[in-house]
Amino acid sequence: MDIKQYLNHRCQEVEQALDQLLPPIEGPLAGHVEAMRYSLLAGGKRIRPILCLAAAEALPTDSRPLLPVAAALECIHTYSLIHDDLPAMDDDDLRRGNPTCHKKFGEAAAILAGDGLLSFAFELLARPLATKNISAGEQLHLIGNIAAAIGPMGMVGGQVLDIEAEGRQIELEQLQQIHRCKTGALITVAVQSGAIGGGADRRQYEALTSYGEQIGLAFQIVDDLLNVTGDSTTLGKAAGSDAARGKATYPALLGLEATRRQADEAVAGAITALNGFGEEAEPLRELARYIAARRK
């Protein structure tokens, strides 16, 4: 299969859904909606929503009814980027090659754009889904799963640990915990959401969870690598910023070669986890390879 073509197609599908689901830029709240749409529709790889859709496809089932879930995952990811970029946090001026939300709209508007996107994500997640694959009880499970993955013991907790660790010497184990919470949890739950929405049985759910955990790890390791070896133009954000900020990274702790090996091992593990699946899981396998090979 042609993974580039697959990603392009899925990307368009997700962006169309986001555009249709978000409120239009009009009325007294036009400025607020504009700030949300600015960050949400400014490009991005759409990895999390695509993982959700590809997981459902692997089962195999029609993934289209899960588009609101996929869109919600991207809203959550974007909210986390907007808040992480704030002056009080990572204080970043560039994101995906454009001014960050607070640079463009001001700090108050950016905090509220993030808050708005997070609440809106749960509004999307609670809507009735146009599929019989998933009961209302399973949909509650899906929502609870996502909320846990992004909350105090998940993504938000990971950002707390990340900020606390800045400029301090930390061990590999702590770095792994930061990444598991900050990046891994949302990627894993994106795959799990596709699994639940696609009607996975327990065995399939566990295999897809294992896949999700390992590509979550691979994703972050490659992110660390790109921050060292990439250039700002390709990345659309400042390269070398981790080192400048005294952030612990895999390359800093393990060296470049061992870091690359860890990424390869995680990708291989993710693909092995899919052994029980057939041809329909090919997009997931290719996604794992793509995540390891990406340049931005």
Q: Could you say which of 97, 157, 236, 240 contacts a copy of itself (CB under 8 A)?
A: 157
Query: Closest approach of Cβ 74 to a copy of itself, in Å?
Result: 15
Q: Which stretch binds a copy of itself (CB under 8 A): 40-48, 55-63, 110-118, 246-254?
A: 110-118
Closest CA to 130 of 46, 22, 17: 17
Q: Is 90 helix (H, G, I), strand (E, B) or coil?
A: coil
Residue 135 binds a copy of itself, judged by CB under 8 A: yes
DSSP 232-246: HHHHTS-TTHHHHTT
57-67: b or e for each residue (b if 16 or more CB lie within 10 Å)? bbbebebebbb
Within 10 angstroms of residue 131's Cβ, the number of other Cβ atoms is 16
**Two tokens, residue 16:** 């169309």
All residues at 6 or more sequence positions from 269 whose CB lies less than 8 Å from its CB, including other chains = 210, 214
Residue 264 binds a copy of itself, judged by CB under 8 A: no
Residue 119 binds a copy of itself, judged by CB under 8 A: yes
Residue 153 binds a copy of itself, judged by CB under 8 A: yes
Q: How far apart are the first and last CA of the chain?
A: 22
Residue 36 binds a copy of itself, judged by CB under 8 A: yes
For residues 157 and 240, which CB has a smaller minimum distance to a copy of itself in the complex?
157
CB 227 within 8 A of CB 241: yes
Q: Could you say which of 174, 176, 210, 241 contacts a copy of itself (CB under 8 A)?
A: 174
Residue 109 binds a copy of itself, judged by CB under 8 A: yes
Residue 118 binds a copy of itself, judged by CB under 8 A: yes
- In sequence order, what are the beta bridge partners of 161? none
For residues 156 and 268, which CB has a smaller minimum distance to a copy of itself in the complex?
156
Within 10 angstroms of residue 295's Cβ, the number of other Cβ atoms is 10
Residue 236 binds a copy of itself, judged by CB under 8 A: no
Q: Which residues bind a copy of itself (CB under 8 A)?
A: 23, 28-29, 31-33, 36, 83, 86, 88-89, 106-109, 111-112, 114-116, 118-120, 122-123, 125-128, 135-137, 139-141, 143-144, 146-148, 150-157, 159-161, 163-164, 174, 177
